[in-house]
Amino acid sequence: MDNKEKDYAQSIGSFLMWFGTLEHALDIRIADQIQEHYHEMGYLIIKDMKIIDKINFFYNILFMKIHYCENGKKKKKIMSQLLSIKKKLIVLNTLRNKIAHAKWYSLDKEGYVRTNIKRRKNDGSIVLEKHKITPLMMKSSVANFIAEL
């Protein structure tokens, strides 16, 4: 791990900081949808939500608004964009969880790191889940999300 620590530490820190900024922006967008000039009401509603719940809540609020306020081809296009953003946010959140909870001491030369412990239902045996997470993957996931907005 020592040889890769510098490469990974900066990428992990940057990704987590960027994701925190993204979550803050999502919080503001949700609060705006609830009451535009008074965010406290929105913050009160979302304060105990997990990020995945915020993503779904945001999607549902905008889905209803678009459904009732738009029509025709424009409505279909906006709904498609909204669904695309939701899916991308879910993918980023999954990556964020893997990065935040990874057991970085288990990082191997190929970039695989243990991210979870599961138990097989059929025989009760333990499975150590590993995922490939590299500095390039972290940087490109951020760049791709921004580029596709």
Quick one: pLDDT band at residue 3, thresholds 50, 70, 90?
Answer: low
| pTM of the entire predicted model | 0.88
Query: Domain coordinates of the chain in residue numbers?
Result: 2-100+138-148
Query: Which residue(s) pair with 130 in the sheet?
Result: 114
Mean of all residue pLDDT scores within the chain: 93
Q: What is the pLDDT of residues 57-109, one digit of tens each?
A: 999 999 999 988 878 888 999 999 999 999 999 999 999 999 999 999 999 99
Higher model confidence: residue 28 or residue 70? 28
What average pLDDT does the segment 115-141 reach?
Answer: 95
Q: What is the pLDDT of residues 31-51, one digit of tens each?
A: 999 998 889 999 999 999 999
Identify the CA nearest to 92 among candidates 121, 51, 130, 57.
51
CB 107 within 8 A of CB 4: yes
- How far apart CA 66 and CA 26 sit, in angstroms, is 18
